[in-house]
Structure 1
Amino acid sequence: MAAASAAVAAVPAPAFAAGPVRLVLPAPTGRHRIGTVALHLVDRSRPDPWVPAERVRELMVQLWYPAHDARRLPLAPWVSPAFAALLNPPGSGYELPLTHARLGAPALPGPRAGWPVVLYSPGFGVERTASTAVAEELASHGYIVVTIDHTHDSPLVEFPGGRVARSAVPPPTGEPGEEERLIAKALAARVADTRFVLDWLARPQRALPSGLWYAVDQRTIGMIGHSLGGTTAAETMLEDRRVKAGVNLDGAMSGRVMTEGLDRPFVLVGSDGHGRAGDETWAAFWAVLRGPRLELQLRDSGHMSFTDYQVLLPQAGIPAEDLAGQLGTIDGERSVRVQRAYLLAWADCWLSGRGGTLLDGPCAAFPEMRFLP
């Protein structure tokens, strides 16, 4: 898939085939148990950019964090009830996965200033839960992960009480420059969403599970994004110095950051064949990076390999040949294992300062990950 079109195309929600199967997310590997909470946030300083009649901007975010043992609490579902009905209509015979996180579990106190924070922005037309396997992995290793639903850009966002906001992205008309204007609008909305979430995190929050707000390290924040979410990570870093390091998972670049660059660590991770050699936006962005930079490429992967669908769709019995265009031919479980290792290494290197050598060069344990010069 061409990088530019991959970054802007709204990804349709997959329909799982019928059959008595419980889909399963890979278990996190860290030593910490995990808690999670979904929260409704309201930014009263601006109207919704997609639906101006909505005088405030409403978001759903989800926090994943190291937690005390709370086995008495239920495991969180992978997606909200309304999104579950969209992905898996009643009568299909499939059960969508449960996560490994306990709903509302008390937070485990972090070291010194707290647990470092990682923000996550999904691709255009994709939901906040799309990379739960990565969020859980980071949380199990001592990070607080905040995943953001960008309302009316996501196909469906469910608010408390069952109220649903659907995508309001206008259908294409074929006008010259339409795609660029659409991406610019979406990017501006996403950056504003992310900065609002940062502001919200900085204020004491009584609605959070016990101990969670006090466990947040306000001074150590990074950001990961997939597709347009990766561009959002870079543009947010440009506009807000609270974000110390970033990762773009397979997204074409755009925005002011293309000319102004960054002076803090940034990693580009491409699907197979996607890199600076073929994506002029990556080449231009790379040239204006002034801080530590790294370009990686995951062999045999596709654009949607950087989501949970990499492991869930094959479990649903979808033929491999039908998935290759979006997911490549890499084994899904292996793909998640490799991504988790490198994203954890990124966080350990530039957020927690734990060190490690995985980002220094090719590793025999993970031959699927190429280091591009």
Structure 2
Amino acid sequence: MTAPRTRPPADHRDDGGRTPAGPRPVPRTRTLRHGLTALAGLVAGLLVLAPCAPASAVDASTASGTAASAAVPSGTPYLPQPTGPHPVGRTSLHLVDTSRPDPWVPGVDVRELMVSVWYPAQPSDGQRAPYMTPTESKLLLEDGGITSVPLDVLTRTRTNAVSDAAPAGRRHGLPLIVLSPGFTKPRATLTSLAEDLASRGYVVAGIDHTYENVATTFPDGRVATCAACEVDHDETFWEKLVRGRAVDVSFVLDELTGPHPKWKGAGLIDPHRIAMAGHSVGGASTSAAMLADSRIRAGIDIDGTTQVPVPDSGLARPFLFLGRQSTYTPGGGGAAATWERDWEHLTGWRRWLVVAGAEHASFTDVGLLAEQFGLDIGATLPAARASQLTRRYTAAFFDLHLRSKPQRLMDQPSPRYPEVAFCSAEARGCGD
């Protein structure tokens, strides 16, 4: 087996916004123009590097200078407590697909992935799972151009899962949810969502799509950086990215539910109750993965512009769009137009929800951590509230479609969550 080519941290570079001949690429360090008024350094490194869709305009100057001097609080960064009744465990899997070459690095004849599995666990006083490795924390911060904070600050983020705790549940009794992060983002940035779902009785598999992320650390210490960031980001690139992620997801499902599963708790998974959710391009990849793999019964696109259209033949399985009111309101054009295009071909259960006051980072841990670090991501909705809404509606969707539990929250607006509006492409707008 040929080992993937990796670069040491010292060689990690961005392209400085250069534009080579040919189709205009997405600059390596560009930030989303979504009202990010004081966002740079850490947040650029964590989230807004290379957004999920080529149509999103960017301007690195909107994130200049201010965060480089932002103070990190003396307290330890932390993720919110899960809301379900079960303790949570987490383990990491190193999976190798020998049937295909890596799509981003020539000469690498296998596809290697790192996957975090969160799950209901037996009560344990073991060590909490680390948020990310020191190298990953260092590269994320350096990638954002910030050196005035401890480079291990993300490593010290307090999680709620216990490393390698004993799984709990009955055989084939737990639904499985796959999570896919945004482009350049590690799987760790979806930890708060994953922990919450696991506490509610789901097995959750978060995938690092190797070479599409600022840093992926393998068990032997190798660190793969973002080879996909170095190529032209035209329409062909985004289609390749999305379709490649669909293949990654199917491979992970094989490894967790096949005859020789790679996780010791795999017998708890119900192979007939599988779903997927993703953020940004991970969300855009959800429909592509569902179209490619009939095992995925339901899916959520969280704030991701869809690059690969749902075909005219349609997608008949349940699907939820969940995004920013400022970007994904029907009739608004731009990114919202891709959801309107696909909405027409969602022929099964479907919902389109938007969250007032949220920004792109609001749906992931990045918003939570940025707020703790005193950084402004441009959202008017507090990060804790945005996290609560994301976790609550995501859980309701999966409870409905994987457990057949009625969910009024999925049928109509709730006075408990007035920030969330139900939209209709036909009406080209959103209700109260």
| Alignment check: 8 A CA contact 1:204 1:213 kept | no
> Contact 1:109–1:214 (CA<8 Å) still a contact in 2?
no
Partner residue of 1:239? 292
Matched, 1:119 2:178: yes
- One-letter identity of the residue aligned with 1:181: T
The 5-angstrom pairing of residues 12-161 of structure 1 reads 17-71=71-125, 73-87=126-140, 92-93=149-150, 94=153, 96-110=156-170, 113-161=172-220
Aligned ranges 1:165-314 → 2 under 5 Å:
165-171=224-230, 179-205=234-260, 208-209=263-264, 212-273=265-326, 274-278=328-332, 279-314=336-371
Residue-pair matches, total:
358
Query: Which residue is equivalent to 2:52?
Result: 7
What's the offset of the Cα at 1:280?
Answer: 1.6
Q: Which digits, 9 at most, give the CA deviation of each residue in 1:73-106, with x for residues without a partner?
A: 2100111232122245798344631211111111
Structure 1, 81-90 or 238-247: larger mean CA deviation: 81-90
Corresponding residue number in structure 2 for 1:353:
404
- What secondary structure is seen at the aligned counterpart in 1 of 2:52? helix
Cα deviations by residue, 1:294-336 (Å, 9 ceiling, x for unpaired): 0000110111211101111111122x3xx21xxx221000110
Partners of 1:7 and 1:260 in 2: how far apart?
Answer: 25
**Cα distance in 1 between the residues matched to 2:120 and 2:247:** 27
**How many Å apart are 1:170 and its aligned residue?**
4.7
One-letter amino acid matched to 1:364? P
Kept after mapping to 1: 8 A contact 2:119/2:203: yes
1:207 offset after TM fit, Å?
Answer: 5.2
TM-align CA RMSD: 2.4
TM-score normalised to structure 2 length:
0.78
Q: Which letter maps to 1:337?
A: Q
TM-score (norm 1): 0.90
**Compared with structure 1, are the counterparts of its residues 155 and 40 closer, same or farther at alpha carbon in structure 2 (3 Å cutoff)?**
same
Return the offset for 1:29: 1.0
- Structure 2 unaligned spans of 5+: 1-31, 35-49, 61-66, 425-432
Structure 1 residues 207 and 84: alpha-carbon distance in aligned structure 2, compared to 1, 3 A threshold: same
String of CA shifts for 1:96-155, please: whole Å, max 9, x gaps.
312111111111023x63100110011111111111111000000010010001001111
* Amino acid corresponding to residue 412 of structure 2 in structure 1: G
SS of equivalent to 1:77 = coil
Cα drift, residue 171 of structure 1: 3.7
CA–CA distance in 2 between the matches of 1:188 and 1:17?
40
Partner Cα separation in structure 1 for residue 72 and residue 177 of structure 2 = 36
Deviation at 1:20, TM superposition (A): 2.6
Cα contact 2:51–2:183 (8 A) shared by 1? no
